[in-house]
Amino acid sequence: MRSLWLLLVVGFAAVSLPSAAAAQGTTAVRASGAPVASQMSVGVQRARVLPAPLPAPPRADTRQNRAMMIVGGAGMLTGAVVGGDSGTLISVGGAVVFLWGLYQYLQ
């Protein structure tokens, strides 16, 4: 109970004491999204016309890349079923084909 009381007193003291910046007389600048008087304007203003966004470039056909990912996944599965050294070789080859297809697909 005594340690809890001590912890509460120390915590209250730390919160209530002034910070080092306030003790030195400096003020911290806080960024805020709130409107301030320096940003306000009065009167008629020209409407700002934003430029139209550029359309996305056309994407190339991804059928071959998707097929490579499917074949690579099937190769990994086949290698896992076969097992042994030959299965490991088939799995690694399937992983390479899968990763190359994924890389090309994401480009």
> Does residue 67 fall inside a structural domain?
yes
How many domains would you assign to the chain?
A: 1
pLDDT digits (tens, 9 = 90+) for 13-69: 666 666 555 555 555 556 666 667 666 667 777 777 888 888 888 878 889 999 999
Rounded CA separation 71/48 (Å): 53
In a domain, 70, yes or no: yes
Q: Tell me, what's the pLDDT at 58? A: 82
pTM score, two decimals? 0.47
Domain membership of residue 99 (yes or no) is yes
Look up the domain containing 86 and give its range. 63-106
Q: How many other C-beta atoms are found inside a 10 Å radius of the C-beta of residue 35?
A: 8
| The pLDDT of residue 73 is above 90 | yes
In a domain, 12, yes or no: no
Is 92 part of any domain?
Answer: yes
d(CA 50, CA 59): 26
Q: In whole angstroms, how far apart are CA 21 and each of 11, 17, 25, 103?
A: 19, 12, 6, 51
